[in-house]
Amino acid sequence: MSEGRAAPVYSGENLLFLTDEQLRQGIEAMFFAYRGFTADPDRILADQSYGRAHHRAIHFINRAPGTTVNNLLAILGVTKQSLNRVLRALIADGLVESRVGNVDKRERHLYLTEDGRALESRLSDAQRARMRAAYRVAGPEAVAGFRQVLEAMMDTDMRRAYVRLRDGTP
């Protein structure tokens, strides 16, 4: 785009007929936005030799204290072996506590410890700051549209899990 020319504005009708080039630009924008979104937490996690799988586990345990291992497996969509490796490290390092279920002794309920909550807060604070700044620049209509796009991209089962988590229902 040459200097002095405004970016083209697309009406809602035009967005229904996106070109492959417009879709490619959206895909690339998501890729680079995700890199930015994860950059700060990645630096914090690297100090403790953790990765994004640890971050996701910490995030969702914080969102639903007492969640079961099976529920966390369903949310994260990872193998039991992979999640167990992550949870073993988090438990050994004193960030997550695993408690046996009161009703079903086979269930393990997961809670963040005080140190786990502190780490989760550092990770989320970094991401909230980035999202808050971006939302301010984009404005309320763009924020609502962005959420609609993200929700429309979710598979049906993932959207259901997202809505349950968002609404605080089991």
5-9, 32-36, 42-46: which has the minimum mean pLDDT? 5-9
Q: Under 8 Å CB-to-CB from 137, ≥6 apart: which residues?
A: none
Question: According to the CATH classification, is domain 40-124 in 1.10.10.10?
Answer: yes
**E strand or H helix at 55:** helix 52-63
Q: Is the pLDDT confidence value at 101 over 80?
A: no
78-82, 83-87, 165-169: which has the minimum mean pLDDT? 165-169
Q: Which residues of 90-110 are buried (b: 16+ CB within 10 A; e: fewer)?
A: bbebebbbeeeeeeeeeebbb
> Domain locations in the chain?
40-124
Count Cβ atoms below 10 Å from residue 113 Cβ, excluding itself: 15
Write down the pLDDT at residue 1. 44
* DSSP symbol at 3: T
d(CA 35, CA 146): 17
d(CA 161, CA 170): 9
Cβ proximity of 59 and 124 under 8 Å:
yes
At 134-157, the pLDDT tens digits run 999 999 999 999 999 999 999 998
Q: Is the pLDDT confidence value at 131 over 60?
A: yes
In 3D space, the residue among 127, 122, 125, 91 whose CA is nearest the CA of residue 109 turns out to be 91
pTM, rounded to two decimals: 0.82
Alpha carbon 97 to its chain centroid, in Å, reads 21
Count Cβ atoms below 10 Å from residue 85 Cβ, excluding itself: 14
β-bridge partners, 120? none
Average pLDDT over the chain, rounded to whole?
89
